[in-house]
Amino acid sequence: MKPWDIYTFVFPDADAHPAVVLGTETRLASKPKVNVLFCSSKRATRQPTEIEAVLDEADGLDWTTLCKCDLVFAVPKEQLKDKRGCVSAARRRAIAEKVIRALGFAGI
């Protein structure tokens, strides 16, 4: 498991959805829980909001998907199943910027 990998995770009160893994390789290798972002499991049919990023086939998903950047989940890494892909280098910065803005770190 590496930062920016995309796995399937069954989120609380939701079915299985893509989850983008966040963090450092050291944390991922040494801790039982990892941070992830929730992504839609349905094809995106609208433009993303300011707190959403777009992922698609270039990232290993089946279609255009919205990744929500305003809530980070700490999940047991053994519950992440079926690696689906990895966020492309071009999209990593966009996701990081949206997480920073959505969590209010930009104004510090």
Three-class HEC string of the chain: CCCCEEEEEECCCCCEEEEEEECCHHHHHHCCEEEEEEECCCCCCCCCCCCEEEECHHHCCCCCEEEEEEEEEEEEHHHCEEEEEECCHHHHHHHHHHHHHHCCCCCC
5-102 adopts what CATH topology? SH3 type barrels. (2.30.30)
Domain map (residue ranges) of the chain: 5-102
Per-residue pLDDT of the chain (108 residues), as tens digits, is 999 999 999 998 888 999 999 999 999 999 999 999 999 988 888 899 999 999 999 999 999 999 999 999 999 999 999 999 999 998 999 999 999 999 988 776
Task: Specify the pLDDT at position 50.
Answer: 92
Task: Specify the pLDDT at position 52.
Answer: 95
Task: Specify the pLDDT at position 45.
Answer: 87
Task: Specify the pLDDT at position 53.
Answer: 94
